[in-house]
Amino acid sequence: MSLRPSILDPLFALASTLKGVGPRLAPLLDRLVAEGRPARVLDVLFHLPTGIVSRGTLGAVRDAPTGEPVTLAVTVSAHRPAAAGRRGPHRVLVEDETGDVTLVFFNLPQRRVEAMLPVGTRKLVSGTIELWDGHRQMVHPSRIVDEAAGAPGSEPVYGLTEGVTSRIVARVAASAVERVPDLPEWQDAAWLRANGLPPFAQALRAVHATVPEGETRDPATDPFRRRLAYDELLASQLALALVRNRQRRSGGRVNAGTGELVSRIAAALPFGLTGAQTRAVAEIREDLAAEIRMLRLLQGDVGSGKTLVALLAMASAVEAGRQAALVAPTEILARQHAERLTALAAPAGLRVAVITGRDRPAERRRSLAAIEAGEIDIVVGTHALMQESVAFRDLGLAVIDEQHRFGVHQRIALGRKGESVDLLVMTATPIPRTLALAAFGEMDVSVLDEKPPGRKPIVTRLVSADRLDEVTGAVARAMASGDLVYWVCPLVAESETLDVAAAEERATELRAVLGDAAVGLIHGQLGPADKDAAMARFAAGETKVLVSTTVIEVGVDVPRATVMVIEHAERFGLAQLHQLRGRIGRGERASTCLLVFKGPLGETAKARLETMRRTEDGFAIAEEDLRLRGEGEILGTRQAGQAAFRVVRLDLDGDLLAAARDDARLVVDRDPDLTGERGRALRTLLYLFERDAGVRLLRAG
């Protein structure tokens, strides 16, 4: 059995083995480049600079643009450390004759900051300015030097976290580059020549290197970054092509019966299917009736009726004498799906069961026995469904809800629960076309771009934070008329503790005005049972206002909730705002979303909020989100086996996607087992970019 090529071992070594990475820096690197797990050399190498700052180009504070690297000549005016006994940043006010900026330092000792920036001294400060509550601030400047020292040359600027400067990252990256081995070339030589792209190792060295003064690099055309981006796109597309090829080669079974159960369910509905639902059901049924395994993505905006389409697909599988499973990312969503499906499936006599990680042992044993005996038609559950203890009599169709929460490994595990299992994955996060191709290129796609009849539009208003009293008054009026209200608190900092503190403070203030019993609270530090209980009380109307951090679950359905208040809406991304707004507008009554903002707004924040006010179309919002910030987190959390892009920026590299896709398909057509000379080099590429689920598929045959 082949394992990761040993030539890559230096890159998968821990970053703590790099020169200069001691016990203080190692955990900070873990947080910065590896999302909290131990960072590896590879993670450092793929944490590319976000830009280049010219140390010789100085600007006035008044003219400094937000969101771009700048260097300012300033005088240190005052220190504002965190209050004694309180966790918080140390702030330093600096100024020139045109204005002031607050420098913000997290997790640095007060004495160290004061020694670095004595009051009254002149300093050259480099970093990125952002607006926070209307004031200019620079979090963790990338460089601070005495004005007299001058600032020659240009340096790469990196995304940072608390306690790490850009110069530290650059130093560690330089050490990491020295570890890059001589790797076999996996790209087509003619393609590289035609596009002026350098070898892989040369590209890595160049992107992390200091740039000669006066030289600029446009990330859209920089051949070094573009080489690495194409490598990552090819790895991604090759892994997807291997999955699809394996799916096709393994054959399928017909999973559609007479249509009788589907007709019964549809006939009992109090409304007709939308055109988009009818089209999606037909596309899925055609796949189920074919002797090739289905691998289909069902994209639908919030409230577009994906659950009903999934049920009709599962009913088709049951008609064919098989079973179906639906996997949801959380227990509360799994139980909600089970309740909804049980009601909708009743006219067809379908038997539905739910399996989660918190079932009582006796109840779980009974359910597992019934599933294995074929006495259950549709099984709904969480990740627990993928455990070995869950055995089906004959699983024919697996549906995965909220695809971005699950990785390729989990998808494969579910597919092994039966013979030739068809797979339908669903997402409520509208995905721009280029992103859908990049992330789900191996799948056929159905899109639900209509909302069911009777859904009223959500009125979205922008409200200045100065008018918060009026917002509270509007909430009180909504409560008095029997409506329920979500109140989402802002992202405070890179600290869940501070987010929770802000939510608790807002809940206390609202209770003083609206009454103790009227206001509930939910946040990420609550245990699953407490979260479920808080949501259940709100759904039942026992609490009228639910104050929350951003943990309100996607898909949670409370029809009586008609008002959504989002504080400091300017701090949220477009996709997140759209998902949060989608929690309301699910009943027959008109709904209102109040986006509370603190001015003045930067251009990007203003564009985001105006987009939200203008449209409810999730696909239009997703395209605008891609335009404003690149692919970022549109695809959701990074998952094992299907990592988010680390080098690729689809707003800049979308033109490379088609070439990578064509190349990947050509490779799989010519060398499906990757045993030729280029095929073996491409296996190294898959491991390098951690798309090795494709290699495991080859090993599994």
Q: Which residues pair with 71 in a beta bridge?
A: 126
Any idea which of 109-118, 402-411, 627-636, 648-657 has the lowest mean pLDDT? 627-636
pLDDT score recorded for residue 113: 93
pLDDT score recorded for residue 658: 84
Judge whether 366 lies within some domain: yes
Sign of torsion, CA 247 248 250 254? positive
pLDDT digits (tens, 9 = 90+) for 627-682: 776 544 333 333 323 336 889 887 788 889 889 989 999 999 999 999 999 999 99
Q: Within this chain, do residues 290 and 421 fall inside the same structural domain, yes or no?
A: yes
Higher-scoring residue by pLDDT: 50, 661: 661
pLDDT-derived band at 179 (thresholds 50, 70, 90) equals very high
pLDDT score recorded for residue 513: 94
Mean pLDDT, residues 18-45: 92
> For the chain, how many structural domains are there in total?
3
Q: Within this chain, do residues 505 and 589 fall inside the same structural domain, yes or no?
A: yes
pLDDT score recorded for residue 689: 93
User: Of the spans 178-192, 234-248, 528-542, which averages the highest pLDDT?
Assistant: 178-192
Mean pLDDT, residues 327-336: 86
The residue type at 368: L
HSE on the CB side for 189, CA within 13 Å?
A: 3
pLDDT score recorded for residue 55: 58
Any idea which of 98-107, 285-294, 621-630 has the lowest mean pLDDT? 621-630
pLDDT digits (tens, 9 = 90+) for 541-559: 999 999 998 766 555 788 8
Nearest in space to 678 (alpha carbons), one of 245, 180, 188: 188
CB 475 within 8 A of CB 519: no
pLDDT digits (tens, 9 = 90+) for 513-529: 999 999 999 987 888 78
pLDDT-derived band at 378 (thresholds 50, 70, 90) equals very high
User: Of the spans 391-405, 608-622, 630-644, which averages the highest pLDDT?
Assistant: 608-622
Any idea which of 151-165, 251-265, 520-534 has the lowest mean pLDDT? 151-165
Domain boundary among 591, 615, 639: 615
DSSP 3-state of 292 = coil
227 is written with which tokens?
A: 């080489």
pLDDT digits (tens, 9 = 90+) for 562-591: 999 999 999 888 888 988 898 898 888 889
Higher-scoring residue by pLDDT: 422, 167: 422
Please enumerate in sequence order all residues whose Cβ is within 8 A of that of 76, keeping only pairs 6 or more positions apart, or say none. Answer: 92, 93, 94, 117, 118, 119, 120, 121, 123
Is the pLDDT score of 166 beyond 50? yes
User: Of the spans 400-404, 407-411, 649-653, which averages the highest pLDDT?
Assistant: 649-653
pLDDT-derived band at 51 (thresholds 50, 70, 90) equals confident
Higher-scoring residue by pLDDT: 22, 633: 22
Judge whether 248 lies within some domain: no
Is the pLDDT score of 350 beyond 70? yes
Report the alpha-carbon distance of residue 127 to residue 94 in Å, rounded.
Answer: 13
Radius of gyration of the chain (CA): 27
Any idea which of 220-224, 243-247, 271-275, 656-660 has the lowest mean pLDDT? 243-247
Provide the Cα torsion 144, 150, 154, 155; round to 10°: -20
User: Of the spans 54-63, 293-302, 537-546, which averages the highest pLDDT?
Assistant: 537-546
pLDDT score recorded for residue 38: 94
Mean pLDDT, residues 321-326: 96
Percent of the chain residues past pLDDT 70, beyond the cut = 89
pLDDT score recorded for residue 25: 93
Please enumerate in sequence order all residues whose Cβ is within 8 A of that of 643, keeping only pairs 6 or more positions apart, or say none. Answer: 689, 690, 691
pLDDT score recorded for residue 153: 61
Is the pLDDT score of 226 beyond 50? yes
CATH number of domain containing 88 = 2.40.50.140
Q: Which residues pair with 398 in a beta bridge?
A: 325, 423
Higher-scoring residue by pLDDT: 178, 157: 178
pLDDT-derived band at 1 (thresholds 50, 70, 90) equals very low
Q: Within this chain, do residues 425 and 468 fall inside the same structural domain, yes or no?
A: no
Phi-psi region of 347 (alpha: psi -120 to 50; beta: other; left: phi over 0): alpha
Q: Within this chain, do residues 519 and 406 fall inside the same structural domain, yes or no?
A: no
Nearest in space to 214 (alpha carbons), one of 362, 360, 35, 55: 55
Q: Within this chain, do residues 434 and 462 fall inside the same structural domain, yes or no?
A: no
Mean pLDDT, residues 45-69: 80
pLDDT digits (tens, 9 = 90+) for 433-468: 666 766 666 678 898 988 777 678 899 999 999 999
Q: Within this chain, do residues 528 and 431 fall inside the same structural domain, yes or no?
A: no
Judge whether 635 lies within some domain: no
Higher-scoring residue by pLDDT: 693, 381: 381
Judge whether 274 lies within some domain: yes
Neighbour-count burial of 421, counting CB atoms closer than 10 A to its CB (0-12 exposed, 13-18 middle, 19+ buried): buried
Judge whether 303 lies within some domain: yes
Domain membership of residue 139 as a residue range = 56-152
Judge whether 316 lies within some domain: yes
552 is written with which tokens?
A: 């309100």
Judge whether 432 lies within some domain: yes
Domain boundary among 580, 615, 650: 615
Judge whether 239 lies within some domain: no
Q: Within this chain, do residues 543 and 429 fall inside the same structural domain, yes or no?
A: no
| Cα of 511 vs its chain's centroid, Å | 33
Q: Within this chain, do residues 289 and 424 fall inside the same structural domain, yes or no?
A: yes
Calculate the average pLDDT of the chain.
86
Q: Which residues pair with 175 in a beta bridge?
A: none
Q: Within this chain, do residues 463 and 529 fall inside the same structural domain, yes or no?
A: yes
- pTM of the complete model: 0.64
Higher-scoring residue by pLDDT: 112, 243: 112
Domain boundary among 579, 599, 615: 615
pLDDT score recorded for residue 553: 55
Q: Within this chain, do residues 323 and 372 fall inside the same structural domain, yes or no?
A: yes
| Residue in this structure with the two tokens 């590879």, named with its chain if needed | 42
User: Of the spans 166-170, 560-564, 581-585, 617-621, which averages the highest pLDDT?
Assistant: 560-564
Report the alpha-carbon distance of residue 476 to residue 485 in Å, rounded.
Answer: 9
Please enumerate in sequence order all residues whose Cβ is within 8 A of that of 52, keeping only pairs 6 or more positions apart, or say none. Answer: 69, 154, 155, 156, 157, 211, 216, 217
pLDDT score recorded for residue 639: 32
The residue type at 367: S
Q: Within this chain, do residues 316 and 411 fall inside the same structural domain, yes or no?
A: yes
CATH number of domain containing 310 = 3.40.50.300
Please enumerate in sequence order all residues whose Cβ is within 8 A of that of 127, keeping only pairs 6 or more positions apart, or say none. Answer: 69, 70, 103, 138, 139, 140, 141, 142, 143, 157, 166
Q: Within this chain, do residues 469 and 400 fall inside the same structural domain, yes or no?
A: no
Span between the terminal Cα atoms of the chain, in Å? 12
466 is written with which tokens?
A: 């100065």
Mean pLDDT, residues 380-385: 89
